[in-house]
Amino acid sequence: MTDNIDLTHQQERAFQPQKLSAPRDFIIPNIINDNKDEKPLMLEIGAGKGKHALSFSAQNTDKHLIAIERTRNKFEAFSKLATLQNLSNLDAIHADAIAWTVHAIKPNSLAKIFILYPNPEQHNPNQQWLNMPFFEFLLSRLQVGGEVILVTNIESYMDNAEHQATKVWCLPSTRSRVPATSQRTHFEVKYLARQEVCWELSIRKPKWYKTRFDDWQVSAISEK
């Protein structure tokens, strides 16, 4: 790619991270500042009761997953299971994902981001992840060659996400059907059992990619 590539996303309304306060009881996991084993760092947004986070961490001990859930009852169920399994490569976080990411994640630090079966926001499409200005900030936290995995059972949501990835965020993506045997989340199990089609979008961050937040981070992170 050349330096003249049209980064359409930089013409969009900019996210304003400086206006977000840190979540209540905010703590930065040790892995953020002390990844001495250089494990690839993963982020899951909307972990629910933790089915994917727990199985992924158990099966990928060479990677470290930070899994965020905002809803209290879902997080409490997740937290209990995480405590029982006691996986050293998993951090379960109860917080709003946007504010937490702004205050905790360094630029160019995530190898992969999972967004599995997000709220479709059918009555408020501006809140769909790829429609939000925050998505540019999220991409700034992703490493070169890193990947965003978005999964949904709603075809219109996937159609829009695929369009936004290409036309707004100028990113290469691959769309595929989720295998009928997949069991990553409780939602996935339920949808596939009903023989619904579930879609997965894999979005990669190329070497040439730039955002307006590549050098932005809160002082609490930069001083550590």
Residue 40 burial class via C-beta count within 10 angstroms: exposed 0-12, middle 13-18, buried 19 and up: middle
Q: Is residue 222 over pLDDT 80? A: no
Query: Model confidence at 4, in pLDDT bands (50, 70, 90)?
Result: very low
Interval 136-174: pLDDT, tens: 999 999 999 999 999 999 999 999 999 999 999 999 999
DSSP string computed for 126-184 = GGSGGGSTHHHHHHHHEEEEEEEEEEES-HHHHHHHHHHHHHTS---EEEEEPPTT--S
* 118 within some domain: yes
* 149 within some domain: yes
User: Cα dist. 153→171, 193, 217 in Å?
Assistant: 22, 12, 34
* 174 within some domain: yes
- Could you tell me if 153 and 219 are in contact, meaning their C-beta atoms sit under 8 angstroms apart? no
* 14 within some domain: no
Indicate which CATH number applies to the domain containing 113: 3.40.50.150
* 32 within some domain: no
Interval 104-125: pLDDT, tens: 999 999 999 999 999 999 899 9
Q: Is residue 2 over pLDDT 70? A: no
Q: What is the pLDDT of residue 202?
A: 98
* 223 within some domain: no
Structural domain harbouring 203: 100-212
Phi, psi of 131 (to 5 degrees): -95, -10
Interval 40-96: pLDDT, tens: 999 999 999 999 999 999 999 999 999 999 999 999 999 999 999 999 999 999 999
pTM of the model: 0.93
Tally of domains within the chain: 1
* 189 within some domain: yes
* 78 within some domain: no
